[in-house]
Amino acid sequence: MMQNTNQENSPKPPCQISRWHNFETQDAINQTTLKRILAAANEAIANRGRFSIVLAGGSTPKSIYALLKDAKADWANWHVYHNDDRCLPVDNSERNSLMARTTWLNHVSIPANQIHDIPAELGNIEGAKAYAKTLAGVPTFDLVLLGLGEDGHTASLFPNQAVDNSADAVPVFDAPKPPADRITVSQQRLSNSREVIFLVTGAGKQDAVNHWRNGVAIPATLITPENGVDVYCYGVTF
């Protein structure tokens, strides 16, 4: 069950609107997110003929992707992107793209040319250039999924690193979590979305949540879509 929903304006940056939702169980957050994704897809396809979703990595998204594997949807009109990935071989178990494919995407009928993995195996510079070209012609995303690290990072936007909005996808150097080389979609491009959901689970995220709600400028506050962000939480208190 979902409880204790409220809305706050985070002062840094001043244009981020965050709506906070606390869930009592992991299954509740999974089921609510699943329904939200499918509803967004139905609405987008009915209104615009396509649904574009940006995926997050991590254990909570993985459990939701496992539910999507068995869902009924108009898969032919889904277009799938990623918010970041690690510069590792395509078959490395730490790749976000591999997790999404093995858990969900390989089991549904989304056309292969509508699944857009970040080519991080090319290295962070060349891979970012290639993914920026992929995103260049993509209209506003319909739904972006994001996580939150214990240090407040989201996608591969880390604290105390230079903000880079020079392209839709940018290289990351010296990430504080291995591997050091990564590619991330820029905060400006992630903010160009009709809906954004942060999935925040586990007591280890408590400090980051506290900072966010108290107006500290953690990377998560860089995501500023016009319609605000929804933060789905389990295992933290506020």
The per-residue pLDDT for 162 is 83
Chain-wide mean pLDDT for the chain?
A: 93
The per-residue pLDDT for 11 is 42
> Please, which pLDDT band fits residue 8 given cuts at 50, 70 and 90?
very low
> Please, which pLDDT band fits residue 10 given cuts at 50, 70 and 90?
very low
Contacts of 56 (CB under 8 A, 6+ apart): 83, 96, 145, 146, 147, 155, 199
CATH of range 13-234; options 3.40.430.10, 3.90.79.10, 3.40.50.1360, 3.30.43.10: 3.40.50.1360
> Please, which pLDDT band fits residue 163 given cuts at 50, 70 and 90?
confident
pLDDT in tens, 21-57: 999 999 999 999 999 999 999 999 999 999 999 999 9
The per-residue pLDDT for 3 is 45
